[in-house]
Every structure is written in C-alpha cells, then in structure tokens.
Structure 1
Amino acid sequence: MHPSISQFPNTEFYNGQILDGPNVIDKALEKRYLKEDMYRSYSFINVEFGKEEFDKNNSTKNMVEVAVIAEMVENIFKFDSIQAKLGKKYNQEKNGWSFSVNVRSVDGFQGSEEDIIIFSIVRCNYHGSVGFLTSRERANVALTRARHCMWVVGNKETMIKSGSVWNTLVYDAENRGCVFDAREDKNLAQVMINAMVEFTNFVSLLKIDSILFKEAKWKVNFTKTFLGKIADIVNLNVRKLVVSLLVKLSSGWRQVKKNKSNIYNDTRAMFNMLEIYNVDGHFYVVWSVDIVNENSLCVQVLKFWDLLSLSHIQQRAKRLESAFRKYTLERINRCQSKRFEWYI
C-alpha cells in the first residue's frame, strides 16, 4: 500500500515495525484518480450532516454518507472511462482497463485488497465488537486493504466523542493535514442536500450554519410555526421546491412587487413588509425582512413566518398585524433599507 495509507495502522497497530517496500516508496508509482485535493492517497472526509437510522434488517445506515460515497464512485468511474478511451486511442489496450465495485462489510473483507477503498464509518461510537471483530480489529482490517487510495468517510465530531480508535484516527489525520469537509466540494454538497431533503430530517437543513445557506447573501430566521409546517411536508417535490425558493431568496432573488391590498389589510407596516411567494400553486411562503442585534449592530435577516395555502393567508396576515404594529418607525425603516436584490 501507499506509505501515507500504512502510516496510521503501522503506528497504531504494529508499533512502527512494518517497513514500506521500494515499490511503494517510489513517487512515480503514486496514483491519483481524482484531481481534487481531498482525493489524495489517504484522507478523512467529514460528512457532518445526516443521521444514522436502522433499516428493515436492523442494520445501521446513513443515507447522506451513502449519497456522498455514491457520488465519489461515480466520479472515479467517469475518470476511468476517460482513461480507457485514451488507452484505446493510443493503443494501450494491453493495460487491461476494468472497473468494478465491491460493497462489503469489514468482517467480509479480510484477506482482500483493492486499488481504492472508501470506508464508511457507521456506528463508530460502538466500543465493543461488531460481528466477529472488535472496533480496533475492524479498523485494522479496513485501513490495511487499499493499494493506492484510502478514503475514510464519517462524522468527525461523532468519531471524536467515541473515545475509541476512531478518535485517534481523526486526530492523526488532522495532524497530517488529511481532513477534508465534504461540504466544501460543490458536487458533494449538492448530493448531501438532496439526500437530506429526500431521506433524513428535512428541518435540520433550516439552520443559519446549514450547508443549504453556505453561499447565502442574507442571513435567515425561521419561526417555530414555519419549522413545524416544514416538518409536516411529505411530498418530495414540494420539499424540493421549498428548498429551491429559500436558497433563491437568501441569495438575493426577488419577484417583481405586485399589488397586495387584496391579500391582507392595507396597514403601513403590513403593506410594506410582509411578502407572500408561491411555492407550487398550493403552498405559499410568508416572509419579511427583519432586524436582529449582533454585537451591538442591527443586521437584516429574512424572517420566514409561515407556510400555508392561499385560503389561509388572510387569516394568518391578520394575526401578524399585531406583531408588526409593535415595530417602531426606526425598525421599519431599517427593515426596508435596500440591499442587493435581483428581480424576475
């Protein structure tokens, strides 16, 4: 295996007694399958979102990690496909290009070797044994079977809290500069969002520091009412449309203003501040620009009040009217102070 792969298991499990052969020390033999820095010979890729769940066989799964790994495998396949075509073009078919994927548990992987191993650490906080192997034995097996690339995928914070060999692995990777965040890769970030919308806790996306608002120009704020309505959405297409609208709004996109007087009471605060945007023809997002105090400064945010059908908007607007009446003129002016927006 490549020396960067053997370094941790050699130190952790074999007291540094294993030597690297000349065939792996030669840098000319190092293989890079993907150009991004996180896909070096050895790396730990942090997937901080998603949650572990049990499937029908009572096995643990993390669908966000699944989505990330599937994207990584697809990228490797694309790379190898290009290499194969180039090989044919330059008469290098004798290299015997092939692409295969094996998905196995650690227990079933003993004695095997692969060019690339992507190791997903699920239930990494488990301190005892799983199957026939202890946590240390599983780590030893998993980390010593890759020839060229070993990519460990897991939740860094969970692994650190485990107090086990996984904790040691994370700190070792950090000291060697081998820890990367999946959210920093644009493609991986998008597949994580898609997986969270489809499989896991949708509401966990609606946080200020969420991956969803990584590129946002506006900070966001959600009422408990809005979060409750979001949690009740079952239709996947509606979920996707809501996410798309929230991202667009936080990025500065706005609709051309329309006459609102037929929607709710025409008081000054209500007329100038409350916005109602269509999601799918049935659901509407009710929001406004609001002010929060941060470090003695007034900061504009997008406050999302509710998600409801058109028939309930007027009733909701009347209840919000009392809240807006408490706004001082100064606060209203600060809410309406224009920032960068683009209209369609």
Structure 2
Amino acid sequence: MIIIDESSQHPEYNFLTLLSIFPKTRFCLIGDDKQLTPYSSAPSESKITSIGRRSVLDVLVNQAALGSCNLSKLLTTFRCHPSILELPNELFYSKTLISGCSAESKSSVLKKLKFPNPHNPMAFIDVKSTHYKSENSLSCGNDKERDKCVELIKLLLKNECVTAQNLAVVSFYAEQRMRLSEDLKKDEITKEVRVNTVDSVQGAEFEVVILLTTKTAFAKKEPFLTNPNRINVAITRAKHALFIMGRELTLRSLPVWRDLIAFCEKNAGMLGEKDIPQLF
C-alpha cells in the first residue's frame, strides 16, 4: 500500500504516474479538500487546469460520490482551541467538525493574556496602514503592519506567553515575509521566531500564530487573498492563540473576509492597533 498525505496538494498527473508504476498497489490518500490545491504556474483559465493540475483528492472525492472508491471522513480535530475551531467550522465545513480537545487543555496562552473575550483566544487587530508593491515581483509589503507585528511578538516573548520556537508569523505575501524575517533576525530576542507564507505551512501547526494580510487596497477581484482554501489553511495553524492583522475597512469589501470579521465582532474579538499593549 502507498499512503499519500496532504493529498489535496498532489496533482493528478503525479498520481497517474504512480498508478502506471504500481498498477496493482492499493493507495490510501489523506487530505482535506477544503485546503490548498497543487501549485501551477499555468493561468487558471488554461485547459491544463481541467485535468493536469487538478488535486487528485478532489478527483477521488468526486469519484467516491459516484461509488467508484471508498471515502472516510475524519471529522474530529485535536489541533485548535475549540473557540478557534469555530471560525473555520462555520466558514468552510458547515459546522460538521467536532473538537476532540477541551478548552482547558488549549488555554495556557489564553490565561496569560487579556483577550476581549476571556473564553476566545483569537483577535482581529485593525492596523490602519497602506501597503506597497514590491519592485521585483507581484507581491506586496506593509511597513506599519510589520512594525505592529514586531511589537506584538516582543510583548508575547517578554511576558513569557510563548517561546520563540513555538511562535510563528504567517504571511499571505512573500515580500512581507522576507522583510519581516530580516527585521526579526536583527534582534536576539526575536531571531528564532519563524516567518512563513500561508502556502508553505499547510500541514504545520504552532502554539501561537500571527497572521498578516498586508494588502490594504483591492481590485474588483482578488483571487489570491480571497481563495477560501488559502484562508482556511491560514486560520487553522494555531493551537492556542491566533492574531489576525489587517485593514478592517477594506477587508470587509472582500468575500470570506467580511464573514471572518463579522465572526470576530460577534465573539468580541476586535482590537485596534493601539490596543496591543492592553493584551498584557
């Protein structure tokens, strides 16, 4: 038997190659069709999209609906604090997920911080800022968001809420990731904090996550930042606490994000940039 993990990112053509090499072997594919699909540089409207770069997991989920293969759903999750799980469960899973852990077992960080809602270790921090476009790529950065992120990181470490090794920053944009990583390496206190892009952390988990949205002005369509699978990956990496930084006013104009912000409002999870020190 061949077991393929994170199979939502496994392209169909790779799987066909494996089938040709091991025609009599049984395959077990493990993955989440609500998370990121295989990367391809081909334009989304290209014909290759319809076959070559499809997620093999998506193909098999469709086949299972036709009775062509077996499908087992794992609905109990043990990663996140139950309150953090509520957000993706509501946005992406039609409330079918079940938390397999107690709030108490995931409250070590919550007890050390003064969240607006003492039962919810998640906050959206409104950073009133302006992004810039990278000179060398299609990516973008945001100086003020970076500064506020560093401020939050230092306070988390200074107050011993989490160790640097268990804290991660997850950025939607590579430019912001690169610049922030450079900033953190300059300081002995913060140099061990990991900085990743959303697309690189599928399958990973961290005690505390700071999620950076960075971009503050949008075109009519924003397929990258509004991709539900990408947002789902971004908000499901944290085990004990999740901070989301972004420009509330403009993010409200985007699909999924307006629902995410509404969820945070409903659960008393909205903060301003000046409120960061008040968490401690």
Cα displacement (A) at 1:62: 1.0
Unmatched segments (≥5 aa) in structure 1:
85-98, 189-344
| Equivalent pair of 1:38/1:45 in contact (CA under 8 Å) | no
How far 1:119 moved relative to its partner? Answer: 0.3
SS at match of 1:174: helix
TM-score, normalised via structure 2 length: 0.54
- How many equivalent pairs are there? 169
| Paired residues of 1:160 and 1:167 also in contact (CA < 8 A) | yes
Q: Which residue of 236, 256, 263 maps to 1:172?
A: 263
Question: Structure 1 residues 26, 81: closer, same or farther in 2, change over 3 A?
Answer: closer
1:51 correspondence with 2:142: no
**Alignment partner, residue 114 of structure 2:** 36
Amino acid at match of 1:4: S
- The match for 1:129 is 223
Note the alpha carbon deviations across 1:11-63, whole angstroms, 9 max, x for none. Answer: 11111111001xx3242541226533259611111112x20101333321111
User: Which aligned segments of 4 or more residues in structure 1 are displaced greater than 6 angstroms?
Assistant: 81-84
Aligned partner of 2:158 among 70, 75, 78: 78
Whose RCO is larger (CA < 8 A, sep 6+)?
A: 2
- Show the counterpart of 2:148: 68
Q: Secondary structure at the match of 2:159?
A: helix
Q: Does 1:118 align with 2:210?
A: yes
Q: Which residue number corresponds to residue 52 of structure 2?
A: none
User: How big is each residue's C-alpha offset from its partner over 1:264-303, in whole Å with a ceiling of 9 and x where there is no partner?
Assistant: xxxxxxxxxxxxxxxxxxxxxxxxxxxxxxxxxxxxxxxx
SS of residue matched to 2:123: strand
1:224-259 alpha-carbon deviations (Å, 9 max, x no partner): xxxxxxxxxxxxxxxxxxxxxxxxxxxxxxxxxxxx
Unaligned runs of 5+ in 2: 1-79, 165-190
Change (3 A) 1:9 1:55: same
Aligned with 1:12: secondary structure? helix
Q: Is the 8 A contact 1:65 1:153 kept in 2?
A: yes
In 1, the alpha carbon distance for the partners of 2:96 and 2:207 equals 24
Paired residue type of 1:129? P
**In the aligned structure 1, how far is the partner of 2:238 from the partner of 2:125?**
16
For 1:153-168, list aligned pairs within 5 A: 153-162=245-254, 164-168=255-259
* 1:176 shift after superposition: 1.1
- Residue of structure 2 in register with 1:20 after alignment: 99
Change (3 A) 1:183 1:82: closer
Letter in 2 for 1:53: Y
How many percent of aligned residue pairs carry the same amino acid?
Answer: 26
Counterparts of 1:164-243 in structure 2, within 5 Å, are 164-185=255-276
Tell me which structure has the larger Cα radius of gyration: 1
Aligned residue for 1:25, secondary structure, equals coil
Q: Report the TM-score when normalising by structure 1.
A: 0.44
Q: In 2, Cα distance between the equivalents of 1:67 and 1:187? A: 17
1:45–1:182 contact (8 Å) kept in structure 2: yes
Residue 14 of structure 1 aligns to which amino acid in structure 2? Y
SS at match of 1:119: strand
Q: 1:288 aligns to what?
A: none
Report if the CA contact (8 A) 2:226-2:257 is conserved.
no
Higher helix share: 1
1:303-331 deviation line (CA, Å, top 9, x unaligned):
xxxxxxxxxxxxxxxxxxxxxxxxxxxxx
Return the match for 1:147 from 239, 254, 260: 239
Q: What is the identity, as a one-letter code, of the residue corresponding to 2:160?
A: D
* Whole-Å separation in 2 of the counterparts to 1:61 and 1:146: 23
Q: Distance in 1 between matches of 2:231 and 2:249?
A: 18
Closer, same or farther in 2 for the Cα pair 1:138/1:29, shift >3 Å? Answer: closer
Q: Note the aligned Cα RMSD (angstroms).
A: 3.0
| C-alpha spacing 1:69/1:3, structure 2 compared with 1 (3 Å) | same
Whether the aligned pair in 1 keeps the contact of 2:162 and 2:207 (CA below 8 Å) is no
What secondary structure sits across from 1:173 in the alignment? helix
Q: 1:179 to 1:67 in 2, by over 3 A?
A: same
Shift of the alpha carbon at 1:172? Answer: 1.0
**1:293-332 alignment to 2 at 5 Å?**
none
Where 2:98 maps in the other structure, the secondary structure is coil
**CA shift for structure 1 position 186:** 5.5
